[in-house]
């Protein structure tokens, strides 16, 4: 819940509101960042990963553990 507007997701008038009112569809397994509808992501071993986490040099061995 937002500490400013006290809603989740934020009210459109809240300064913390997501741009363009995108809908969060996944949470990255590695970093915990939200993955918005329309964004690319990877589904690896049953977990969802954002593109930056996969491209930051994770090896297959790290992903499989």
pLDDT tens, the chain, 65 aa long? 889 999 887 887 888 887 766 788 999 999 998 898 889 999 988 999 999 988 876 655 555 55
**Cα Rg for the chain, rounded, in angstroms?**
14
pTM: 0.58
pLDDT value, residue 8: 81
Spell out a b/e string for 24-62, using b for 16 or more CB atoms within 10 Å of the CB, else e.
eebebbbeeeebeeeeebbebeeebbbeebbeeeeeeee
Cα dihedral: 23, 30, 42, 48 (round 10): -60
């Amino acid at each position: 819940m937002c500490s400013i507007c006290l809603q989740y997701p934020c009210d459109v008038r809240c300064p913390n509101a997501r741009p363009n009112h995108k809908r969060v569809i996944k949470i990255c397994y590695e970093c915990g960042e939200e993955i918005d509808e329309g964004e690319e992501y990877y589904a690896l071993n049953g977990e969802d990963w954002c593109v930056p986490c996969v491209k930051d040099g994770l090896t297959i061995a790290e992903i499989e553990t």
